[in-house]
């Protein structure tokens, strides 16, 4: 399994009137963590897009377990467990400094060309993911 940890600090802009992280912010945290996870295995999103490969989110889900608050330091763990064929699935777990699970979620990404037409996973994506699906933590 490919696993990448991305640190996030909760800023005032992230919280709602009750002082808890606004629910949509977690999708932004997922996006940042996903970009860094892919980079950690040698896949720059900019480079992929330069080659005409796009990974739009086609589905997402989140489950809220506890709320994070202003100035909390969080860890967003991204995991890729399978080699993509036509879609890339990434699972996420957000924990606080004490290791408590706050949010779990998943994004599913279509693999499309520049015109938005679905394609099978190209060699560059397959090679990077297959190479790193060794169980080593990144």
Catalytic residue selected from 14, 16, 75, 127? 16
**Residue 16 a catalytic site member:** yes
The three-class DSSP label of residue 51 is: coil
H-helix or E-strand containing 40? helix 25-40
87 contact partners, CB below 8 Å, separation of at least 6:
58, 108, 109, 110, 111
Neighbours of 67 (CB within 10 A): 17
Which residues are known to be catalytic?
16
């Amino acid at each position: 399994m490919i696993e990448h940890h991305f640190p996030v600090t909760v800023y005032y802009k992230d919280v709602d009137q009750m002082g808890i992280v606004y629910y949509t912010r977690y999708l932004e945290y997922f996006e940042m963590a996903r970009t860094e996870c892919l980079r950690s295995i040698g896949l720059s999103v900019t480079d992929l897009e330069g080659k005409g490969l796009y990974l739009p989110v086609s589905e997402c889900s989140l489950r809220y377990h506890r709320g994070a608050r202003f100035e909390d330091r969080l860890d967003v763990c991204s995991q890729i467990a399978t080699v993509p064929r036509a879609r890339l699935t990434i699972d996420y777990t957000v924990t606080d400094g004490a290791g408590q699970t706050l949010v779990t979620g998943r994004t599913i990404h279509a693999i499309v060309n520049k015109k938005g037409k679905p394609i099978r996973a190209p060699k560059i994506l397959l090679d990077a993911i297959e190479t790193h699906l060794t169980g080593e933590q990144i």
